[in-house]
């Protein structure tokens, strides 16, 4: 059978090439749809995160597990809650699919009264500071004056570093010692003292380690984390109110759009778990942004699918038309094979194998072409207007393969469908059917009238709701993508209606002017009247090609202009 199919394909090279072109375009555009959507959403997510970081001054994708030790509550219970919260943060990092850029633990106490002790006691003043300890701080700062803070100072004075802003706003200087008036050592009864040993700045301003921009910290005094844990956490006698926070900075540059929904569901789960320990035990500063991103992503997916439906329809019509033409040329051959004992299943099997070979070749050629189409479309600013832009982060992932395989199966079904009808016809029936003309199924079902009625109803609804839609658009909402589908239905319905009335118009013109025509013109009209069924698909295909081409170009231009104007006015 394979050799037979091979000879059939080689005997009709141009028909096969036409089918290959149609199949390659169909599969490549289908595969490009999820690839382009994923790449655009990936870029949009990255831009949203970058913009959020520039406006807030904080790392945009930060997860916070935070709990307080309250001296007024049962001490053991309060510490157990902090330990459980830390365990929850570890479980969250294990379950989260997004890579963690950096994680850190912060201990701090607010409302600390620090007393200046100037050289020579020329003045004494009290300032309100936040005593802070951040894990791995030394790895992310550079000392611009003095030296880094050490742990376990032999003279009992806690060493600390401050930012330049804290130094200026609080009137501090390197080498100064502060007395923490409201934090006392239970063993000696004396207040703890802190010595400012250095001034720091971040090594990298874009370092995800910094949840709070250190350049904006005006009263933060950082002591060594080991000192804070030793004196104020592990030492039960000195233990007072403090807060422990676990910062989990997710790497937003590696965050993919298809991970956003799972991240939101995971955050809801852990917010509920952490809420059983602390009222504000879990924080996700970018939750609302991701939620809005999902809404935009769904709208984009629907819009892309709706806009591509006419293209799929057009390519499907093309493949069906070429396949039908090949079958018309092979109708005698099919009838001859059937008359010699071939079953209907065998005939369908031949064309199924032929279609599968063409689909497999097309699938192999379409996948790299889909990547190229995605990059070309990504570099376009408008219709046939290309700009220099960073390449889209396109990738081959599961939906791309699914769309490509589904498109290949659809192309196989489109090519095999005409063969099912011809496989019923024997040699005698074939000779008889040559003189009969049957109405197509779509004419019997009045599909053209139905499509026109539905599309005109969509236009009627749009006209009645124009003011309402204008208000929605003015408030930032997007146009309903189904309106574009109504336009496509109108084009297809109009094309089918023209095919229905075309024979009547030709017959009317022929009847009115046949006595005045030359023999060549007379023969041409007569040929059209007698073979009108063979030209239906060609007419529909040409009408769809021109109408959808013009419509798609104008639609793309309109969408792009509306988006630009919305950006200018907002």
Give helix 536-569 / helix 287-329 axis angle, nearest 10°: 160
- How far apart CA 196 and CA 223 sit, in angstroms, is 9
- How far apart CA 464 and CA 74 sit, in angstroms, is 66
Statement: residue 45 has pLDDT above 60 = yes
Contact 422, 327 (CB under 8 A): yes
> How much is the average pLDDT of 144-170?
84
The residues, ordered by sequence, that sit 6+ positions from 268 with a Cβ below 8 Å of its Cβ are none
Sign, CA torsion 524/528/531/534: positive
Is 159 strand, coil or helix? strand
Please spell the DSSP secondary structure of 478-503, one letter per residue. PPPTHHHHHHHHHHHHHHHHHHHHHH
The DSSP call for residue 287 is H
> How much is the average pLDDT of 351-363?
88
Supply the pLDDT for residue 254: 86
Is 416 strand, coil or helix? helix
- How far apart CA 550 and CA 502 sit, in angstroms, is 23
- What are the tokens at 395? 């990738």
Statement: residue 416 has pLDDT above 50 = yes
- What are the tokens at 538? 């060609």
The DSSP call for residue 476 is T
Statement: residue 49 has pLDDT above 50 = yes
- Provide, rounded to the nearest whole percent, the portion of the chain with pLDDT above 70: 84
The DSSP call for residue 342 is -
CA triple 109-70-169, angle to 5 deg: 15
Statement: residue 488 has pLDDT above 70 = yes
Supply the pLDDT for residue 570: 60
- The tens digit of pLDDT for each residue in 109-124 reads 888 888 887 544 444 5
Q: Which range scores top for mean pLDDT: 307-311, 360-364, 423-427?
A: 360-364
Contact 102, 61 (CB under 8 A): no
Lowest-pLDDT choice from 364-373, 443-452, 519-528: 519-528
Can you point out the beta strands (E) in 70-99? Answer: none
Supply the pLDDT for residue 121: 45
> How much is the average pLDDT of 385-403?
76
- How far apart CA 555 and CA 195 sit, in angstroms, is 68
> How much is the average pLDDT of 245-250?
90
Contact 198, 149 (CB under 8 A): yes
Q: Which residue has the higher pLDDT, 79 or 450?
A: 450
> How much is the average pLDDT of 377-382?
65
- What are the tokens at 163? 């930012």
Give the residue from 297, 327, 270 showing the smallest Cα distance to 537.
Answer: 327
Confidence class of residue 75 from pLDDT cuts 50, 70 and 90?
A: low
- What are the tokens at 408? 């290949």
Q: How many CB atoms lie within 10 A of CB 39?
A: 22
Contact 132, 108 (CB under 8 A): yes
Is 438 strand, coil or helix? coil
- How far apart CA 180 and CA 117 sit, in angstroms, is 11
Predicted TM-score (pTM) of the model is: 0.71
> How much is the average pLDDT of 43-56?
84
Sort residue 437 into left (φ over 0), alpha (ψ -120 to 50) or beta. Answer: beta
Supply the pLDDT for residue 120: 40
Confidence class of residue 265 from pLDDT cuts 50, 70 and 90?
A: very high
> How much is the average pLDDT of 180-192?
81
- How far apart CA 176 and CA 114 sit, in angstroms, is 12
State the chain's mean pLDDT as an integer: 80
Supply the pLDDT for residue 479: 58
Place of tokens 């422990």: 244
- How far apart CA 238 and CA 246 sit, in angstroms, is 23
Q: Please name the residue ranges forming H helices in 330-465.
A: 331-339, 344-378, 398-422, 427-433, 441-444, 447-464
Confidence class of residue 229 from pLDDT cuts 50, 70 and 90?
A: confident
Q: Which residue has the higher pLDDT, 521 or 566?
A: 521
Confidence class of residue 547 from pLDDT cuts 50, 70 and 90?
A: confident
Confidence class of residue 92 from pLDDT cuts 50, 70 and 90?
A: very high
Place of tokens 């990547």: 371
> How much is the average pLDDT of 293-319?
80
Q: Which residue has the higher pLDDT, 3 or 396?
A: 396
Residues paired with residue 63 on neighbouring β-strands, in sequence order? 248, 284
Per DSSP bridges, beta strands 282-284 and 62-69 are antiparallel
Lowest-pLDDT choice from 72-76, 114-118, 224-228: 72-76
The DSSP call for residue 213 is -
Residues paired with residue 368 on neighbouring β-strands, in sequence order? none
Contact 239, 69 (CB under 8 A): yes
Supply the pLDDT for residue 207: 80
- What are the tokens at 103? 């994680």
- How far apart CA 163 and CA 198 sit, in angstroms, is 9
Q: Which range scores top for mean pLDDT: 279-283, 320-324, 440-444?
A: 279-283
Sign, CA torsion 310/315/319/321: positive
Statement: residue 469 has pLDDT above 70 = no
- How far apart CA 531 and CA 459 sit, in angstroms, is 36
> How much is the average pLDDT of 39-60?
83
The DSSP call for residue 244 is E
Supply the pLDDT for residue 256: 85
- Provide, rounded to the nearest whole percent, the portion of the chain with pLDDT above 90: 7
Instruction: Provide the residue count of the chain.
Output: 570
Q: What does R_g of the chain's alpha carbons equal in angstroms? A: 37
Supply the pLDDT for residue 123: 45
Q: Please name the residue ranges forming H helices in 164-286.
A: 164-169, 225-228, 260-275
Contact 92, 65 (CB under 8 A): yes
- The tens digit of pLDDT for each residue in 493-512 reads 888 888 888 888 888 888 88
- The tens digit of pLDDT for each residue in 8-17 reads 777 778 888 8
């Amino acid at each position: 059978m394979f050799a037979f199919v091979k000879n059939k394909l080689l005997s009709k090279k141009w028909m096969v090439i036409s089918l290959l072109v149609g199949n390659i375009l169909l599969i490549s555009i289908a595969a490009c749809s999820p690839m382009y959507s994923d790449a655009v959403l990936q870029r949009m997510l990255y831009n949203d995160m970058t913009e959020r970081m520039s406006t807030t001054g904080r790392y945009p994708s930060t997860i916070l597990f935070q709990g307080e030790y309250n001296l007024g509550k049962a001490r053991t219970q309060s510490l157990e809650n902090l330990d459980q919260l830390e365990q929850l943060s570890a479980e969250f990092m294990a379950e989260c699919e997004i890579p963690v850029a950096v994680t850190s633990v912060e201990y701090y106490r607010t409302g600390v009264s620090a007393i200046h002790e100037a050289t020579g006691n020329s003045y004494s003043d009290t300032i309100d500071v936040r005593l802070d300890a951040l894990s791995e701080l030394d790895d992310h700062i550079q000392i611009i004056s003095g030296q880094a803070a050490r742990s376990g100072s032999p003279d009992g004075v806690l060493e600390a570093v401050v930012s330049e802003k804290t130094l200026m706003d609080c009137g501090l200087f390197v080498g100064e010692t502060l007395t923490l008036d409201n934090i006392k050592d239970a063993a000696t009864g004396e207040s703890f003292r802190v010595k400012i040993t250095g001034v720091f700045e971040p090594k990298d301003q874009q370092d995800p380690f910094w949840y709070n921009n250190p350049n904006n910290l005006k009263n933060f005094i950082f002591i060594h984390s080991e000192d804070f844990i030793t004196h104020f956490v592990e030492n039960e006698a000195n233990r007072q109110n403090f807060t422990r926070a676990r910062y989990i900075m997710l790497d937003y540059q590696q965050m993919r759009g298809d991970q956003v929904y799972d991240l939101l569901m995971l955050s809801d789960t852990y917010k509920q778990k952490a809420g059983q320990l602390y009222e504000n035990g879990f924080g996700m500063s970018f939750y609302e942004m991701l939620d809005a991103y999902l809404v935009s992503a769904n709208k984009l997916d629907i819009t892309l699918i709706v806009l591509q439906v006419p293209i799929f329809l057009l390519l499907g019509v093309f493949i069906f038309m070429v396949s039908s033409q090949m079958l018309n040329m092979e109708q005698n051959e099919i009838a001859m094979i059937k008359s010699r004992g071939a079953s209907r299943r065998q005939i369908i099997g031949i064309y199924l194998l032929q279609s599968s070979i063409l689909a497999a070749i097309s699938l192999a050629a379409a996948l790299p072409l889909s990547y190229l189409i995605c990059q070309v479309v990504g570099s376009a600013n408008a219709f046939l207007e290309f700009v220099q832009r960073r390449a889209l982060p396109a990738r081959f992932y599961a939906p791309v393969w699914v769309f490509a395989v589904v498109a290949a199966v659809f192309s196989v079904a489109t090519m095999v469908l005409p063969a099912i009808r011809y496989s019923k016809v024997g040699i005698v029936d074939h000779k008889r059917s040559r003189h009969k003309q049957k109405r197509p199924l779509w004419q019997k079902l009045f599909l053209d009238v139905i499509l026109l009625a539905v599309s005109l109803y969509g236009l009627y609804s749009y006209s009645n709701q124009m003011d309402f839609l204008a208000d929605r658009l003015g408030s930032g909402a997007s146009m309903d993508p189904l309106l574009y589908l109504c336009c496509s239905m109108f084009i297809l319905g109009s094309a089918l209606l023209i095919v229905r009335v075309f024979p009547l118009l030709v017959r009317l013109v022929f009847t009115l002017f046949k006595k005045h025509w030359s023999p060549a013109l007379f023969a041409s009209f007569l040929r059209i009247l007698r073979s009108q069924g063979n030209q239906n698909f060609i007419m529909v295909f040409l009408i769809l090609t021109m109408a959808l081409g013009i419509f798609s170009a104008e639609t793309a231009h309109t969408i792009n202009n509306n988006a630009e104007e919305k950006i200018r006015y907002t």
